Structure 1
């Protein structure tokens, strides 16, 4: 009997403690073993709020400046028609995956207007004056009258139109900076990018190992000095910002125009997008490398970018067994696989063209490459056919060069591709160039000639007498 009394007492105490624990459980953080039910089961509605369409031009016109920082909008509405739901608490909210702060009152989800504008700008990486439709993703804890709490996720939609942006300058855009001497009479012109409205680029060389400052300007009258330049200046929000991708701030914007900077010395491609009002700064390297099955996955094939504009040209033998392009003569830099994917596990690039020797042009701006079949010969007064036609060379896969053994007369020779002058090599044997290189003088005799076209700055040949 005594044992039964002890057991009953213990059972009563356990029940009491269990009830006490339930009373103090934070219902907004349901136990992990509670099932997460769909919104439909508890008839929870994730609806657009009363202010789910926001126009930032109207905002700045209608809200006093001193109130703008604290102004908020009802972006979404939470409710339930299920009689078993006692209340709903917002756990988290994001805009197209980017978190945003929010408060809930009477089911109305409110966010700060300026923060919403900033988050939408980041989500689309654009300041373009176009209506942006975006998802408002929410996770809520629904407290049931039974005391249980369940997590439910849902989405509503909202719209925001950023402030108006300046019209695209008909005269184009220029740069001033440390690398131009900040002389408003001599700005550096940017070049329009083909088939991309409002996108301009320029390659600059910086020598300051720390940072080099610059600003963008719409085309202006260079005779007007700084007054003319400053009237159309563009920059960033934080002075000295070295972000490689950033938003543009313009004269007349809601923010002060500050001066961007480039970190480090070297060649850089600066891209300005005056549709989205963004800019980017990317290192520009002189060479790109190819490693693949055909060369034993060694980075011995090279492509050159004469203008440091991310467009590279080289000459190499390719097969259909795969290769990659690399920014370094090893695997330590950026490596480009299929579709120019730079992930470590990216698939290899494979070609459907026949195995053979090609001129390869890689455009890292457009993420494209083009292949042109190439056959090379010698031509000139010293060759058997003179300047009238080529004497064909053959490609040696083993020696990785174009080669010929032939008799030459006193005179001159050059190399050219596909029996045409569109691509030719001249200069000196140690330093050949495709940029209108001079003729190569030779004396009469029998020679084995080996040509290594490679790329601009690396091409050379060997002219060896045959005894």
Structure 2
């Protein structure tokens, strides 16, 4: 067995990963090879000129010029390594390492941006005379290398017939994808939110460089040969249904994803700190089956001001310009860009946020339905359940309780808020489209989901609701 003798200092090499600005990545980088440094007896090593891995097409790349170390009594170098960036790479006598491994070292230490990076490196060699083996360590050299990076531009835009005149340069530039604060190589994902008003509308992705071409579709990305893949000068991508979508593209992998955006609507105003923080927005409940209609049960003070926005933040907010249908004598009316309450009290609101925006102000009516009412489900299907016997009493104060009649039967509790067009046979306005229940002491809304968890109750119990706190009690 060959006896190995370790010579030289123990190698302590580690590089701290860092993040650098990428805006100058395209500037030419140059360097001059350093003077050769000692590499054992009669050996030397020097770095080659700066390496750009984008230009390397072979599986190995030369990083150093080596004169192999020798020793007396027939010692000859038989194995080489290069240590840099906290890694040890196998190296041949020609000073070549794996192209892939060098790429990985750069990315691990610095990220994927195509910037020239510097490493302090040392070479190791094992020289052997067939009986004994000796480890030789070189002096330090500086290896400069730029990683191979995907061809990603700094900005992308959405174009297509999803917009009027959707290939006009000015229209396209108004629909830029958003990106994180990271550089585009370490985070190649871009996204945009878009509202599609008609079915079967299409889009393409325009890189910033195409904006200067006579036809901005030259170089645009469309659908590739694989599902959800992108290709330069591919076909336009079609969205089959109208709605709000988030389109995300990965410009390194050249893939795309289209996701329907969950429909939301929020209210803020003078009683809600005018939306200064996210918690100052009251979320409305989605009317089941609609991406545009929402509802809430709310107490308003006289003179209270409010408005709506599709998210818990100031953007695309609306109020004063909305069509108002007041069925409850609230006196709600436009006041500039806001809405103002004329009469204090509890109100049931239904808001449509579509091509047209509409506010329906309704009486605060809540009803029982199903097992627990006299006549059970049969009464409901005969459209006879909307009676005072099944109606909750409504409070007059903000923290007052809506209280149900006592349950006529044992069974599963079901209840809903009632709009003027709520019915049992109308598929567009069935009672369950505004259904809710009390689960573990909380008012839980059906929203756009399916049946809620069953809640078993006993005859002669009743339920109390506090819509201000979102709490309920069955006793």
TM-score normalised by the chain length of structure 1: 0.37
Query: Which one has a larger percent strand, Structure 1 or Structure 2?
Result: 1
